[in-house]
Amino acid sequence: MTPLRVLSVASEVYPIVKTGGLADVVGALPWALMAEDIEVRTLIPGYPAVMAALEQVGEISSLPNFFGGNARLLGGSHGALDLFVLDAPHLYDREGNPYLGPDGKDWPDNPFRFAALARAASYIGLGAVPSFVPDVVHGHDWQAGLVPAYLLYSHRPHPGTVMTVHNLAFQGRFPRHFLPPLGLPPESFSIYGLEYYGDISFLKAGLQFADKITTVSPTYAREIQSDEHGMGLGGLLRQRSSDLVGILNGIDTTVWDPGNDPAIPSHFGIEKLEARAPNKAALQTRMGLQVSPETFLLGVVSRLTSQKGLDLLLSCLPTLTSAGIQLALLGDGEAELREAFRAAAARHPGQIGVVIGYDEGLAHLVQAGCDALVVPSRFEPCGLTQLCALRYGALPIVTAVGGLADTVIDETEAGVAATGFKCASVTAEALDQTLRRAAAAFYAARSNASNWTRMQLNAMLTDVSWRHRAGRYAELYRQIVAQRRPAG
Ligand SMILES: Nc1ncnc2c1ncn2[C@@H]1O[C@H](COP(=O)(O)OP(=O)(O)O[C@H]2O[C@H](CO)[C@@H](O)[C@H](O)[C@H]2O)[C@@H](O)[C@H]1O
């Protein structure tokens, strides 16, 4: 059997460019799919970091006058990742965040930057690279939303398409006047196409025209079909429910391996749980906290946005500080949250430690050193940090939404099989109660360690790898190919 070929299209990929969990998934899936006999190549924009990281580069074709300048399609690799890169300096040769200018606002030409990515993907889909003609083109998030539209309006035979929603909150919405310069026909601008409240929505194009839609957990797949959580696309997603599936994310268990993690001082595992303790001390030191093995230490690794619900945690700080609980927070994002956590740390030195910024190594230390990781999201398509926490024996304290609901087991659900703590609702009160419940369980372990330790072992034994989850994607690709193959 020849392997199935999949072109994955995304705006970021770990370890080259990452602003969030999207990059982790796009970076890990190709490797996991190899075991399923699926050959994946990933198309990404040629940002400076990508151009610098590209190995074994070769030019595949030149794309003159491509969305306002000359561009090239390159082939290459980075480690085990096989890449196509759209080298378009007029669109991507800018330092910093892939989406935002130095003023913190979206680049004004983002519609062109990501339409170009989708257009290049459609060329590959239509056979521009004879050595790699994909069976399926798989786009991630709004930045790849136009891929199915360009393929459809090419009016040529083309591969099957999958659109994965990592976060429905980001939709790539732009004014209607972009339609002609994006090379989309007038008939695409309809309620049955990419029209969205009088504007163009890249994500809607993907959701409307892709053969299959996936999102990153079964619960989020249900939630987004409701008017309450559908962010204006609930109706469309309900209509497409037979083509919509929730497949849980995994994490790269070679990058996140407590037994062999270069970012932590003491390696540990289920048979060496006591070796976790030096990491707690290292984290307390690094965060300016009082070094105390007995104190309950909460960790946070997060983007600081309203999605992540960290304002709820701010409301719980009086409970934490009066109960002598410690907090180690690593995050970056909205100025108001940054300032509020900085101020809390200044008010409670030794008890609240805050690092504002993005720090991959410290994220590993937080997971290895904290007793429990708090993820109080308002909504969470899947969430990766609670998966890392499970693997590192940090018990997740989560709201019961999206993938958090699907990946953490509370004592009230399964008794001895529990892996963490779930809040009954997404409110500061419920979070406060759940934090108290977790603290009580932690401190009870002083007289009888078995309950907390059992939860840690349950957590660490949870399969958070891509192994089985990649198989679900492979199944979906095969289904698409079988459905599109002409009968007879
Ligand atoms: N300050 C910091 N320093 C270092 N590392 C940091 C960091 N802040 C965050 N990270 C890392 O970034 C990643 C965040 O992934 P998440 O899945 O938790 O959230 P995100 O909302 O970005 O992703 C979206 O896409 C993913 C992928 O599908 C979904 O799981 C998720 O629900 C959805 O919102 C993790 O690897 C985490 O360790």
Q: What ipTM goes with this model?
A: 0.99
Please give the distance, rounded to the nearest whole angstrom, from the Cα atom of residue 247 to the centre of ligand 1. 17
List residues forming the annotated binding site.
18
- Residue 312, token pair as written in the block: 């709820």
pLDDT of amino acid 1: 61
- Residue 183, token pair as written in the block: 């090379």
Residue nearest to atom 20 of ligand 1 (CA): 21
Question: Which residues does ligand 1 sit against, CB inside 6 Å?
Answer: 20-22, 24-25, 166-167, 216, 249, 301-303, 330-332, 358-360, 363, 380-385, 403
pLDDT of amino acid 305: 95
pLDDT of amino acid 411: 87
* 147 CB neighbour count, 10 Å cutoff: 33
Please give the distance, rounded to the nearest whole angstrom, from the Cα atom of residue 18 to the centre of ligand 1. 9
pLDDT of amino acid 126: 97
CA 124 → CA 54, 154, 260, 364, distances in Å?
A: 19, 12, 39, 37
What value, to the nearest 5°, has the Cα angle with vertex 26 and ends 142 and 241?
55
CA–CA dist 283, 287 (Å, integer): 6
pLDDT by residue for the chain (488 residues), tens only, comes to 678 999 999 999 999 999 999 999 999 999 999 999 999 999 999 999 999 999 999 999 999 999 999 999 999 999 999 999 999 999 999 988 999 998 889 999 999 999 999 999 999 999 999 999 999 999 999 999 999 999 999 999 999 999 999 999 999 999 999 999 999 999 999 999 999 999 999 999 999 999 999 999 999 999 999 999 999 999 999 999 999 999 999 999 999 999 999 999 999 999 999 999 999 999 999 999 999 999 999 999 999 999 999 999 999 999 999 999 999 999 999 999 999 999 999 999 999 999 999 999 999 999 999 999 999 999 999 999 999 999 999 999 999 999 999 999 998 888 789 999 999 899 999 999 999 999 999 998 777 768 899 999 999 999 999 999 999 999 999 999 999 876 54
The beta-carbon contacts of 273-282 under 8 Å, at least 24 apart in sequence, are 273/393, 273/453, 273/456, 273/457, 276/368, 276/369, 276/393, 279/365, 279/368, 279/369, 280/369, 280/370, 280/371, 281/369, 282/365, 282/369
The answer to whether 287 touches 341, Cβ cutoff 8 Å, is no
- Residue 186, token pair as written in the block: 């007038």
- For residue 230, the 8-state DSSP code is S
pLDDT of amino acid 415: 76
Helix (H) or strand (E) holding 237: helix 234-239
Helix (H) or strand (E) holding 387: helix 385-391
Instruction: Kindly provide the residue ranges of all beta strands, DSSP E only, lying in 316-473, ordered along the sequence.
Output: 326-333, 352-356, 372-375, 395-399, 421-423
CA 66 → CA 73, 87, 113, 151, 182, distances in Å?
A: 11, 11, 10, 17, 10
Please give the distance, rounded to the nearest whole angstrom, from the Cα atom of residue 168 to the centre of ligand 1. 15
List residues forming the annotated binding site for ADP-alpha-D-glucose.
18
pLDDT of amino acid 195: 97
Mutation choice for ligand 1 from 248, 303, 386, CB with most ligand atoms inside 8 A: 303
What is the three-class DSSP state of 411?
helix
* 349 CB neighbour count, 10 Å cutoff: 11
pLDDT of amino acid 487: 55
Atom of ligand 1 nearest to the CA of 388: 38
Residues paired with 354 in a beta bridge: 329
Residue nearest to atom 14 of ligand 1 (CA): 21
Sign of the Cα pseudo-torsion (212, 217, 223, 224, in order) = negative
Helix, strand, coil % in the chain, rounded to nearest 5: 40, 20, 40
Rounded to two decimals, the pTM is 0.96
Residue nearest to atom 31 of ligand 1 (CA): 383
Atom of ligand 1 nearest to the CA of 384: 17
Mutation choice for ligand 1 from 8, 11, 13, 24, CB with most ligand atoms inside 8 A: 24
Please give the distance, rounded to the nearest whole angstrom, from the Cα atom of residue 329 to the centre of ligand 1. 14
